Structure 1
Amino acid sequence: MTKLSNEVVEFFRRQPFTIVSSLDKRGIPHNSCKGVVKINRNGAIYLLDLYKARTFENLKRNPRISITAVNEHSFEGYCLKGKAKIITGKGIKMPVLRDWEARITNRITQRIIKNLQGEKGHSRHPEALFPKPEYLILMKVSEVIDLTPQHLRKEA
């Protein structure tokens, strides 16, 4: 497992969602939006998936996964590559579920604030209609790719 810098960890913590890529049975990438519930400097990332659909089936067959997030405003982003483990049922610990609930509450709050400020958005708060998570994806990062153009990267 690859250690993650504080910069990468904080970047992913600030993202409302990420793009998760898995491989289907023909080896063709499948992309879906998922929220990061928890990310650690040791390279462990926890994502809750609400729907046992393509990502679930793909990861059962092939654990290779990547997570990508970008910030258009700051023109930076990262792609994290690694292997996933599916955790179901009682393997999903209560602290992870509480972290997920806190993130969902924050997303709803931010949407309400934006709506009150006059920004157009979804009026029905789709997050409030999410089903209870049925499984957890635990990703162990093996590679970090900085998507920020070289000439715009912050000096170390």
Structure 2
Amino acid sequence: MIEPDIVQFFHNQRFTIISTIDKKGYPHNSCKGIVQIDESGKAYLLDLYMARTYENLKANPNISITAIDEHKFIGYCLKGKAKIVQKNKVSKSILKLWEDKITSRISHRLLKNIKGEKGHQAHPEALLPTPTYLIVVDIDEIVDLIPGHIKRKAQEV
């Protein structure tokens, strides 16, 4: 079970860092967007490139999903087991969520460009390939990354 505030925290993140282990035992990190995460302890990630993360998960299902909010100085690491699910077995509602997230990212980038904020001019989200599979994670552990002294100070207030 994941607390609602942690679920909301991950939904508010533009991207997360996914860690897997390669065949030599080294960690591999990559940026992924969360399509969905729910209080039951499931997270749904799209991995579009069928590269290292995909190969690593085929050999070892252990995964972590990490996100931080540097402004608020909070973050979490979700640890669990992942499985690869082919697109034809993914619910249409999850695929629709992915499309909505891409649309939102493109809109966000366009608005930043209109405001004159520098960014990537090519709108890379519009060039992403169509997903062929989804990574489904059963979350076993939640690690709170808020430093202890900050947590203690917040509890005093």
| Same fold, judged at TM 0.5 (above) | yes
2:40 alignment partner, SS class: coil
What residue in structure 2 maps to residue 122 of structure 1?
120
Residue type at the aligned position of 2:56 = N
Q: What is the distance in 1 between the residues matched to 2:87 and 2:67?
A: 28
What residue in structure 1 maps to residue 58 of structure 2?
60
User: Is 2:44–2:136's contact at 8 Å kept on the other side of the alignment?
Assistant: yes
1:94 Cα deviation after fit: 1.1
What residue in structure 2 maps to residue 136 of structure 1?
134
1:100 alignment partner, SS class: helix
Ranges in structure 1 where 5+ consecutive residues have no aligned partner: none
Q: What is the distance in 2 between the residues matched to 1:7 and 1:100?
A: 21
Q: What is the distance in 1 between the residues matched to 2:130 and 2:87?
A: 11
2:118 alignment partner, SS class: coil
User: Is 2:44–2:134's contact at 8 Å kept on the other side of the alignment?
Assistant: yes
TM-score by length of 2: 0.94
What residue in structure 2 maps to residue 5 of structure 1?
3
User: Is 2:87–2:131's contact at 8 Å kept on the other side of the alignment?
Assistant: no
Q: What is the distance in 2 between the residues matched to 1:78 and 1:105?
A: 26
Residue type at the aligned position of 2:110 = I
1:89 Cα deviation after fit: 3.3
What residue in structure 2 maps to residue 30 of structure 1?
28
Q: What is the distance in 1 between the residues matched to 2:2 and 2:53?
A: 24
1:81 alignment partner, SS class: strand
TM-score by length of 1: 0.95
Q: Which has the higher contact order (CA 8 A, sep 6+)?
A: 1
Q: What is the distance in 1 between the residues matched to 2:83 and 2:13?
A: 22
- Structure 2 counterparts to residues 56-95 of structure 1, below 5 A: 56-95=54-93
2:126 alignment partner, SS class: helix
Q: What is the distance in 1 between the residues matched to 2:95 and 2:82?
A: 18
Matching residue within 96, 99, 103 for 1:98: 96
Q: What is the distance in 1 between the residues matched to 2:5 and 2:150?
A: 15
1:4 Cα deviation after fit: 0.4
User: Is 1:47–1:136's contact at 8 Å kept on the other side of the alignment?
Assistant: yes
Larger displacement relative to structure 2 (40-49 or 83-92):
83-92
What residue in structure 2 maps to residue 40 of structure 1?
38
User: Is 2:42–2:139's contact at 8 Å kept on the other side of the alignment?
Assistant: yes
1:143 alignment partner, SS class: strand
